[in-house]
Chains A and B, each alone.
Chain A
Amino acid sequence: MGTEHGDRRWDGRDLPYIPPAELTIDPSLRFHDDVDDKVDPVNHEVLRHALWNVNVEHGNTIMKISGSPICSYGHDFNPSILDEKADFVFFGPFLQYLAAVSSTAAKWTLENRSGNPGIKPGDMFLTNDPWVGATHQADVTMLAPVFVDDRLFCWVANTLHQWDLGGTAPGGFNPIAEDVYWEPPCIPPVKIVEGGTMRRDIEEHFLRSSRVPGLVALDLRAATAGCGVARERILQLVERYGAASVKATMRKLQDDSESAFLRRLATIPDGTWTEEAWSEAALPGDRNIYRNRLTLTKKGTTLSFSSEGSADQQGTLSAGFGAWRGGVASMLATTLLFDQMFAIEGALRHCEFVPNAGAITCATRPAAVSGGPAVTLIQAVGLSELVISKMLATSSDPELRSEVQSCMGGASYPVNALEGIDQRGRPYSSMLMDPMGAALPALSWRDGQDTGGYAHDLQSTMPNVEENEQIHPMLTLWRKEITDSGGAGRYRGGNGGEVAFVPHKTDRINLVTFASEMAVPMPGLFGGYPSSTNAMRHVRGADVIGAIVAAGRMPTSTEELDGETEWVAGKSFGIQLLPAEAWVLGWASASGYGDPLERDPEAVRRDVADGAVGADWARRAYGVVLVGAGEGLTVDEEATAAAREEIRARRLSEGVAGPAVAAEAAATGGGEARPVAARIEWVDGELRADDVPLGPASGNYKRAALILDRPLEEANPNLQRPGVYVDTELAFRQTVCPRTGVLLQTEIAVAGAPPQWDVRLGSTDVRDVAAPQA
């Protein structure tokens, strides 16, 4: 990967820091890189476990001392162990998208701090600079070098989301930031702990801009104590097993994860896979949408991720390169390294992340980046899920294909920050954590998990309604899963959720919103329907509690409330919610996998009986006709067959041929078929859906298929007309097999755009990162 970009450098000043293959390090810093050439299998297993536990203990120490809800519920932190040159050994079992941060920051520190002020035993360095590698300013990284015999043996590090570090909006996300100067200050790596002592000058400097310096001081201690515990444990292991033996286990962990990764890659043909999604509202009042595109190219033993084709950096939507890279990499760990304890270095040795300077995925200074994680970063996680899945779908290994998944829910986290005077007369400032109950994606063999949380977190946690009401002056009207929200498909995406509340025992609640995925949902996979969207509603002019008491009945949906409903924009501030009014926050579901008409009608019946899907949507999306009710609910098989036939016939009659001529006659010969998508195979250099030819594998199968554009609202009953939020015309585009009417792929298209070329098989130059055009 080059380190030059025109005449500017990837040095972490204006452009993000991208470590060169060989770091330039001051010769005064010596390394401890003795390695046993033979690894004892017993010692290795003991040390592997012990090193993993060093990370767990490190993480527990942070949670214990910090005690912050962000840590405990949001899991917005992660510890890591890096080797002496700052490559990953282990990354902790907490938030995975922080994956890229500490290694990059430690490498920058090696290059820029080894001479002055020097890296010495007992030191720790702190940084939150998004251009050095932080996901955003609120995520502060602590780096602790570990020395053995005055030589640098390894690093322990952590990243932890802090309460507030200053800037014009409280908390981490500023919806009105026009550039980085509106935001918390960026701090390149500074030596906060020197020879074991925290430097008071640096600490006070760090705390000075915060609205809650006492709490940030506590988080700072949590971070240093975590590193301290981890460093001590590693030194104990070194003392007992010998430095060369511990280092041998570190190397073996990296090498083992590399060989596991390569073994898996070897089952996959070369190719290029693309996916795209859209964000809206760069700033309050903006009604445009912005593309976020991810292309994955596999060539031989290398994966290359590129965001070519993504929108230029915009208002509050931009993310730093480290944020984007971390988002993409998080899905590598969960889909390809789950049995390697997420030891991601082995994979990173074979991955390129192509920086797209000036795009929303690679902001250049002075773009605003504080909001990036809630929008562009999480969206990159979802896109990564989809492109990696498309790639894994071509694997000859069925185990690997079983990791194929649609897009998770909440691929933009709808931040609702609350502030005001609580029920005890004290000021408070907080954020709703309910959307942590996002939804897990559909797999290629199983439905997604309704409100199952995030795919890049191992255990997302929603607060109890009672906990929310105990700390905020609110009364929750309902909190529920949203019927029909999960993307339809042969396997259904998990449903999203919704919470509604009124201010209670206060005179008002002040709200700030920061969200995307309001107008445009995330795409489905291989014929699966898209997700639902985030939605925030302000219901005014309704005496909510008065009406409840008068009727003697609690409402369970917005439709049951009087008053006027305002659909709130993704980026807004200064909203005042009065006691007579209600606020309704819905969060996006996961998308679906495969053609919904291929779903087992019995599974649809179960969903309807359970309330996860409504009978009307069962009929429209799945073509399943049900009769009876309750335990007597049954599938009318004849009517279902007819309904499905009717939908297929409509697809065939209304679909139009792709932009180019249909493929030639089917190739002869019966070579071994390789799977490509749910209903597409690759035989003798050609793509086929069943026996229908779709053209050469290196071409766009959509050219040989029928394309059917429908209004976006038809993709999911919970979608609003995009016109509520944006001026762009959008379509739910379906790619249909021209003979069978089976849905091969879906996408969300700006009206008039050519069909996305999302799968291109065959050898491609990895450096040819230009997005393939149809």
Chain B
Amino acid sequence: MTQSQDQETSYRCGVDIGGTFTDCVVVDDQGRITLAKAPSTPPNFARGFIDVLRQAAERTDQDLETLLGRTSLLLHGTTVGTNVLVQMKGARTGLITTRGHRDVMVMMRSFGRSAGLPIDRLLHVSRHEKPAPIVPRSLIAEVSERIDWEGDVVLPLNEEEARAAVRGLLADGVEAIAISFLWGFANPDHESRMRAIVEEEAPEIFVTCSHEIAAKVGEYERTTAAVINAFIGPATADYVGQVDGDLTAGGYRSPLLLMQASGGVMRAAEAARRPLFTIGSGPVGGVTGAAFLAETMGRPNVMACDMGGTSFDVGLIVDGVPIAGSEAVINQNTFYMPRLDIESIGAGAGSILWRDEHSETLRVGPQSAGALPGPACYSRGGTEPTVTDCNVLLGRFATDSFLGGTMALDHEKALRALESLSGSFDMDPVELADGALRIIESHMADLMRQLSVQRGRDPRDFSMFAFGGAGAAHAVALARELGCPEVIVPLGDLASTWSALGVMTADVLHVYERAALLSLPFDPATVNAIFAALEAEARAELEGEGFGTAEIELSRVVEMKFPLQVHRVDVEVPPGELDETDMEEQMQRFVIKYEQLYGAGSAFADAGAEIGLFRVVARGVLPKLALAGESGAAGEPEPRTREVYWRELGGFHATPIHDAASCVSGFAVEGPAVIDLPVTTVVIPPGARGVVDEVGSIAIDVGSSAGSEATSTGAIGGHHGH
């Protein structure tokens, strides 16, 4: 990758655009970190992008042009594509598909009626409804052509129909066209020819072929991917083009890199062509960043947990590699897309406590008070009690130094909100608050359990990385619940803007796939030929982007399954020329991996095995980010104390409260204690012990009570308490 050759200080910038704020993190070549935050500026997000960079420039005492001129890499996570899709404000999109199959998008394999719904909505069957179509039937044109599963042409493309289809859609005013034929990935000739016809008829229009986005079996998910790419294409291309232009005009000389949901970045030009890959990239930076930091800390297995105001997101890192998936669901539309497997539930700092009248029991979430009206203690008009109000009432959150002291939290309002509910349960407000925390923590632990234990992974082998505004307040309780021995609060206070930092740790990533069905015994010549072709393509693209041979990392994967079972499993394939022995070993690797995931004895190998998909993941390795240690005042000021409620101790105790000043390398703190950082509160319960490392991360040993009943039944509730 070409880099600026400035002899002055050089920088790496990460910009992360969210719905409310645009965050910028700047790291200089000494590893020093500067943060900037500016309001997002919808609908023209490009303006907020430049605003936040200008602010970062000010904070590093230079003008924007100087900063940009000295920036070697600018990495960016954008939600523009996601927003366009979620709000259904994309281009008027037409679809061209195989005659006889236009209903693929309206049938949605039937499960579109409830795909991705949370459990309460899933159980309310009468309310199931397919979402408004991204492409209405009237904008789906059918063209006669047919290719079979082997890629053989049964009926050549009917060019007359093809041209008529394009003209019809253009007459209907479409602004983008998706092309998806049955088996269009097994033999892309018809889709490619169709694209050429579209380009002849309308050279300027945004076109996507399904085989360019996802070369794998399953016309519903592949067609949806192509349609979404076309739908969000023009808006994303405009945005990326504008930002790229502004940056170049501002003096930035390297390529702008955009975050993909897969955890890698891609160049602006590719993002403009395949904007689909940016969808859902929001929470990905956090996991990528956790993987980066975990590697430097020697932690191979990580549960990366992001708890914000409304949701709790979890991604897993196993042996240093984030767990990836290949499907996403947005607005009940399911589509193929390489992505990190991040699961989410509606549990956050703003989750509302309520009483279920049918069962007369306490519930927490999934409704959230959000930023407005927000928790009652924010004094923005909220009156319903939230998780944040519980933290305030229990003394866990400071009322005077929250958000660096810019926002006072009203203890009285929190109390009143909780009192409004506690009476109906015959509990006092403190009991209620602690009970609500136990409930929300159990929901979060359930999600983490699904991702770990239920997928054959033992939480005891994992470190929990806790970030997002509220992660560090609940992490130790969660870790104990699951049996995780350790919690890491990455870079201390940076935990709250961890996603923006994480974006900067990503490498350039491209995924190349080819579908081909191979049965046992696998023919090594075919396997070699397919991988050789994919790898040649990968190298050519990365070399074209300026990567040298040493910076290119290729890894091979095949998707395998047993013919009579439905599970498809990604199995690594060794590099180089393969022979029969390698093929036999491939089968063994498959069985081992299958049984790891699905349980001993679950593999039914009598019916043979199949390879269905070949994949090369190509990584253009960017220079590793280096972080500097906090070299602040090592003097340990006498901590203040605050009355904090500890369920382990059965009541309020005067608790040492530390702040950012004391949070320097080597600082150790025994629970019970609270560390009030400007935007993060770290709660260290009795029995836990935290240590600050050389880059400012706080590692918490959760103590011997991990996984024991002490965590949630100690003082109130539980059979001991009654």
When distances are taken between beta carbons in the complex, the residues of chain A under 8 Å from B220 are 464
B557 at the interface (CB under 8 A from A): no
Residues of B within 8 A of A469 (CB): 148-149, 183
A470 touches B149 (CB 8 A): yes
**Interchain nearest-CB distance for B226 vs A (Å):** 14
B106 within 8 A of A: yes
A184 at the interface (CB under 8 A from B): no
Among B58-66, B310-318, B434-442, the stretch in contact with A: B434-442
A556-B99 CB under 8 A given contacts A215-B564, A459-B111: yes
Q: 7 more A-B contacts (CB under 8 A) besides A460-B111, A464-B219? A: A42-B438, A53-B449, A60-B450, A339-B358, A455-B125, A460-B110, A610-B136
The minimal Cβ–Cβ distance linking A485 to chain B, given in whole angstroms, is 13
Answer whether residue A3 sits at the interface, using C-beta atoms and an 8 A cutoff.
no
Does B555 lie at the interface of the complex (its beta carbon under 8 Å from any beta carbon of A)?
no
The distance in angstroms between the C-alpha atoms of A530 and B606, with both chains bound, is 47
Chain B neighbourhood of A471, CB < 8 A: 563
What A residues does B119 contact at CB under 8 A? 52, 93, 341
Residues of A within 8 A of B (CB-CB), count = 106
Residue contact A40 to B113, C-beta cutoff 8 Å: no
From A64, A436, A548, B110 is in contact (CB under 8 Å) with A436
Instruction: Decide yes or no whether A521 CB sits under 8 A from chain B.
Output: no
- Docked-complex contact B155 and A465, CB < 8 angstroms: no
- Tell me, yes or no, whether A403 is within 8 Å of chain B by CB: yes
Contacts of A476 in B (CB 8 A): 100-101, 182
Name the B residues within 8 Å of A497 (CB-CB): 103, 107
Is residue B653 within 8 Å, beta carbon to beta carbon, of the partner chain?
no
Q: Are A64 and B599 interface neighbours, CB within 8 A? A: yes
A244 within 8 A of B: yes
Q: How far is the CA of A463 from the CA of B606 in the complex (A)?
A: 24
- Please name all residues of chain B whose beta carbon is closer than 8 Å to the beta carbon of A339 when the two chains form the complex: 120, 123-124, 358
Residue pair B219, A465 in contact (C-beta under 8 Å): yes
Q: Which residues of A contact B450 (CB under 8 A)?
A: 53, 56-57, 60
Give, as a whole number of angstroms, the nearest-CB distance from B88 to chain A.
17
Size bracket, chain B contacts: 35 or more
In the assembly, what is the distance between CA of A326 and CA of B348, in Å? 39
- Contact status B182-A405, CB under 8 Å: no
Assess the B126–A405 pair: CB atoms within 8 A.
yes
Chain B residues with Cβ under 8 A from A453's Cβ? 110-111, 113
Q: In the complex the two chains form, is A41's CB within 8 Å of B361's CB?
A: yes
Is A334 engaged at the interface, CB distance under 8 Å to the other chain? yes
Alpha-carbon separation in the docked complex, A403 to B125 (Å): 9
- The stretch that binds B, out of A65-73, A310-318, A708-716, A725-733, is A65-73
Does B443 sit within 8 A of A, measured CB to CB?
yes
- 17 of the cross-chain contacts (CB-CB < 8 Å) are A36-B719, A43-B719, A45-B363, A66-B565, A256-B359, A340-B358, A449-B129, A451-B107, A452-B128, A458-B123, A459-B111, A460-B110, A465-B104, A467-B217, A479-B101, A548-B146, A554-B145
Does A50 have its Cβ within 8 Å of any Cβ on chain B? Answer: yes
- Decide if B155 touches A548 in the complex (CB within 8 Å): yes
Neighbouring B residues of A455 by C-beta, 8 Å: 125
A437 touching B107 by the CB < 8 A rule?
yes
Closest residue on chain B to residue A469 by CB atoms: B149
Q: For the complex, is B454 an interface residue (Cβ under 8 Å from A)?
A: yes
B566 engages A240 (CB within 8 Å): no
User: Do B114 and A459 have beta carbons less than 8 Å apart?
Assistant: yes
Q: Does B154 contact A (CB under 8 A)?
A: yes
In the complex, chain B residues whose CB is within 8 Å of the CB of A218: 601-602, 604
In B103-153, the 8 Å CB interface with A consists of 103-104, 106-111, 113-115, 119-120, 122-126, 128-130, 136-138, 142, 144-146, 148-149
B532 at the interface (CB under 8 A from A): no
Residues of A within 8 A of B716 (CB): 42
Given A215-B564, A462-B107, does the pair A40, B721 have CB atoms closer than 8 Å?
yes
A466 touches B719 (CB 8 A): no
Q: Does A48 contact B (CB under 8 A)?
A: yes
Q: Which of chain A's residues has its CB closest to B185's CB?
A: A466
User: Do A458 and B106 touch across chains, with their CB atoms under 8 A apart?
Assistant: no
B483: min CB distance to chain A, Å: 11
- The answer to whether B567 and A554 have CB atoms under 8 Å apart is no
- Is B218's CB under 8 angstroms from A466's CB? yes
Residues of B close to A36: CB separation below 8 A: 719, 722
A residues adjacent to B (C-beta < 8 A): 36, 38, 40-46, 48-50, 52-53, 56-57, 60-61, 64-69, 71-73, 93, 214-215, 218, 221-222, 225, 239-242, 244-245, 252, 256, 259-260, 263, 334-335, 338-342, 402-403, 405, 423-424, 436-438, 440, 443, 446, 449-453, 455, 458-467, 469-471, 475-481, 497, 500, 504-505, 545, 548-549, 552-556, 609-611, 630-631
Known: A241-B718, A464-B109. A49 touches B219 (CB 8 A): no
Nearest CB to that of B159 among chain A residues? A552
CA A424 to CA B144, docked complex, whole Å: 27
Q: Is the CB of B597 within 8 A of A64?
A: yes
Instruction: Spell out B's residues near A (CB within 8 Å).
Output: 98-104, 106-111, 113-115, 119-120, 122-126, 128-130, 136-138, 142, 144-146, 148-149, 154-156, 158, 161, 172, 182-183, 217-221, 358-364, 425, 427, 435-436, 438-439, 442-443, 446, 449-450, 454, 517, 519, 562-567, 597-599, 601-602, 604, 606-607, 709, 712-713, 716-719, 721-722
Please tell me if the beta carbons of B217 and A240 are within 8 angstroms of each other in the complex.
Answer: no
Q: Decide: B598 and A449 in contact? CB cutoff 8 A.
A: no
Of A240, A242, A460, A554, the most chain B CB neighbours within 10 A belong to A554
**Closest CB in chain B relative to A79 CB, distance in Å:** 13
Residue of B nearest to A343 (CB): B359
CA distance A405 to B129 in the complex (A): 14
Q: How far is the CB of A406 from chain B (nearest CB, A)?
A: 11
Verify B358–A241 contact, CB threshold 8 A: no
How far, in Å, is B167 (CB) from chain A's closest CB?
14
The 5 tightest CB contacts between A and B, nearest first, are: A67-B565, A478-B100, A42-B435, A242-B719, A437-B110
B residues in contact with A465, CB < 8 Å: 101, 104, 182, 219
Partner of A553, one of B99, B123, B154: B99
Of A259, A424, A481, which contacts B103 at CB under 8 A? A481
Residue among B110, B359, B435 with most chain A CB within 10 A:
B110
Residues of B within 8 A of A554 (CB): 98-100, 142, 144-146, 155
Complex partner residue of B115 from A239, A341, A402, A459, CB under 8 angstroms: A459
* Smallest Cβ-Cβ distance to A71: which chain B residue: B566
Q: Which residue of A lies closest to B427 (CB)?
A: A41
- A-chain residues with CB within 8 Å of residue B567 when the two chains form the complex: 64, 67
What is the CA–CA distance of A219 and B126 in the complex, to the nearest angstrom?
A: 32
Distance A452 CA – B219 CA, assembled complex (angstroms): 18
**In contact, A480 and B126 (Cβ under 8 angstroms):** no
Please give the distance in Å from A432's CB to the nearest CB on chain B.
Answer: 14
Chain A, residue nearest B358 (CB): A260
Q: A465-B182, A552-B155 are in contact. Are A221 and B601 (CB under 8 A)?
A: yes
Interface centre among A42, A221, A436 (most CB of B within 10 A): A42
CB-defined contacts of A440 to chain B, threshold 8 Å? 113, 128
Would A46 and B712 count as touching, CB distance under 8 A? yes
A53 and B602 CA atoms in complex are apart in Å by 22
Closest A-chain residue to B113, C-beta based?
Answer: A452
Instruction: Give the residue of B111, B154, B449, B713 whose beta carbon is less than 8 angstroms from that of A545.
Output: B154
**Complex-state Cα separation, A469 to B604, whole angstroms:** 22
Most chain B beta carbons < 10 A, residue from A36, A52, A53, A505: A53
Given A46-B439, A403-B126: A256 and B358 interface contact (C-beta under 8 Å): yes
A67 touches B598 (CB 8 A): yes
Name the contact of B154 in the complex, choosing from A44, A451, A475 (C-beta under 8 A). A475
A67 lies within 8 A of B717 (CB): no
Is B109 a contact of A57 with CB atoms below 8 Å? no
Task: Find chain A residues with CB under 8 A from B562 CB.
Answer: 67
> When the two chains form their complex, are residues B362 and A53 in contact, meaning their CB atoms are under 8 A apart?
no
A723, chain B: closest CB distance, angstroms: 30
Residue of chain B at shortest CB distance from A505: B148
Establish whether residues A464 and B604, one from each chain, have CB atoms under 8 Å apart when the complex forms: no
A67 touches B602 (CB 8 A): yes
Are B435 and A41 interface neighbours, CB within 8 A? Answer: yes
Are B362 and A42 within 8 A (Cβ)?
A: yes
